[in-house]
Amino acid sequence: MVSEFYLIKGEFGETFWITLKGKVGILIPKEREIKTKQGEVRKEKVPLKIGVEGAGYAFGELALLERKPRAATVVCEEDSDFALLDKEHFQQILRIIVSSSSVLSFHNRRKGREQAVQ
């Protein structure tokens, strides 16, 4: 069981995560303007929660499939359990089921959602 967990946007991932129990929050950085005491305006990135997901939510595949940095930050909202697949086992499973159009459909839906967030 994990009570504190952070998967950080921008990091390169080596693990695919499946939420078995609990809830995770999905955050992206949003830029906002802050006025200082001296009256100066500066830009600062703050986390914006774009969703909360529960059991069955899987994440980390984009970092493994496309070798890109994480697209969002994921944090535990409560005590949670996860199943993990390292990169090697993730790729082995994909090779076994690559002929299934559902895998490609899942990836394309996630990719579209990630692009909409950016």
Sign of CA dihedral 1, 3, 78, 110: negative
What does each C-alpha distance from 73 to 19, 39, 76, 111 come to in angstroms?
15, 32, 10, 16
> Is residue 113 situated within a structural domain?
yes
Q: Is the pLDDT confidence value at 30 over 80?
A: yes
Amino acid at position 18, single letter: I
- Which of these, 82, 9, 17, lies nearest to 48 by C-alpha position? 9
pLDDT tens profile 64-112: 888 888 889 999 999 999 999 999 999 888 888 776 655 555 555 555 5
> Is residue 103 situated within a structural domain?
yes
Question: Number of structural domains, the chain?
Answer: 1
Higher pLDDT, 38 or 117: 38
> Is residue 1 situated within a structural domain?
no
Indicate which CATH number applies to the domain containing 64.
Answer: 2.60.120.10
Q: What pTM was computed for the model?
A: 0.70
Full domain range(s) for residue 38: 6-117
Residue percentage of the chain with pLDDT more than 90: 38
> Is residue 60 situated within a structural domain?
yes
